[in-house]
A and B are shown apart, each in its own frame.
Chain A
Amino acid sequence: RKEVEQDPGPFNVPEGATVAFNCTYSNSASQSFFWYRQDCRKEPKLLMSVYSSGNEDGRFTAQLNRASQYISLLIRDSKLSDSATYLCVVNVKGKSTFGDGTTLTVKP
């Protein structure tokens, strides 16, 4: 079993749709959690950190469930520019483990 597993995707959605990604992790000692966005042939860029209380940044909402060991990312009102691969990252004592990513394509 992989340490970090993401929805296999790809997700193809129309503009304006709401889409949710899930990510599960196996190490209960995991300390911090992030969502990164990676555009084709570019580097990963931090989208948002994920906190137990949940956090929201505009159209993006991230949630953490420590008991069930999963994190989620919700994107509301999808834009064409949201098309990218979304990487779940789990950090244990400074070591970051990436999920394989979920690819989102938003279509007109």
Chain B
Amino acid sequence: DAMVIQNPRYQVTQFGKPVTLSCSQTLNHNVMYWYQQKSSQAPKLLFHYYDKDFNNEADTPDNFQSRRPNTSFCFLDIRSPGLGDAAMYLCATSRGPPDSGGETQYFGPGTRLLVL
């Protein structure tokens, strides 16, 4: 039973063409995260939501935005993808609250983005 679902699994877009990646969860977790992972590198946190509260990492480019219309869904919008944005994008959830310090994160299968 899938708990964190990401669609699509593979996404091809053109340079500068906006793209949206989606994530849904059946865990009813309060916190949802978006990570970017490039080849042979660690996942890098872009931002997270605790319920409806949005928390952006300081070094996340403005080109990346996120929406969370309800508990189950969270979207990653890349307004003008560049070649350097090609990566695996991972969605994760945790029960929260995010400052509790002990929360396990559950990852979705990821969306691999290719920018042409």
Are A91 and B42 neighbours in the complex by a CB distance under 8 Å? no
Question: Can you offer 10 A-B residue contacts whose CB atoms are under 8 A?
Answer: A32-B101, A46-B104, A91-B103, A93-B101, A94-B48, A94-B97, A94-B98, A96-B45, A97-B42, A100-B42
CB closest chain-B residue, reference A33: B102
Are B109 and A43 neighbours in the complex by a CB distance under 8 Å? yes
A93 to B99, CA, bound (A): 4
A32 to B102, CA, bound (A): 5
| B96 interface residue per 8 A CB criterion | yes
Are A101 and B99 neighbours in the complex by a CB distance under 8 Å? no
Are A91 and B101 neighbours in the complex by a CB distance under 8 Å? yes
Are B40 and A34 neighbours in the complex by a CB distance under 8 Å? no
Are A93 and B98 neighbours in the complex by a CB distance under 8 Å? yes
Residues from chain B with Cβ under 8 Å of A4 in the complex? 42
Given A44-B90, A94-B96, A94-B103, A99:B42 Cβ within 8 A: yes
Partner of A95, one of B45, B88, B97, B104: B45
Partner of A42, one of B42, B97, B100, B109: B109
CB closest chain-B residue, reference A46: B104
Hey, which bits of chain A sit against chain B, CB under 8 A? 4, 31-32, 34, 41-46, 49, 87, 91-101
CB closest chain-A residue, reference B110: A43
Residues from chain A with Cβ under 8 Å of B108 in the complex? 43
| B107 interface residue per 8 A CB criterion | yes
Given A43-B108, A43-B110, A94-B31, A101:B42 Cβ within 8 A: yes
A42 to B90, CA, bound (A): 10
A44 to B45, CA, bound (A): 14
Which B47-77 residues have C-beta < 8 A from chain A? 48, 50
A98 to B94, CA, bound (A): 16
Residues from chain B with Cβ under 8 Å of A41 in the complex? 88, 112
Given A92-B101, A94-B97, A43:B45 Cβ within 8 A: no
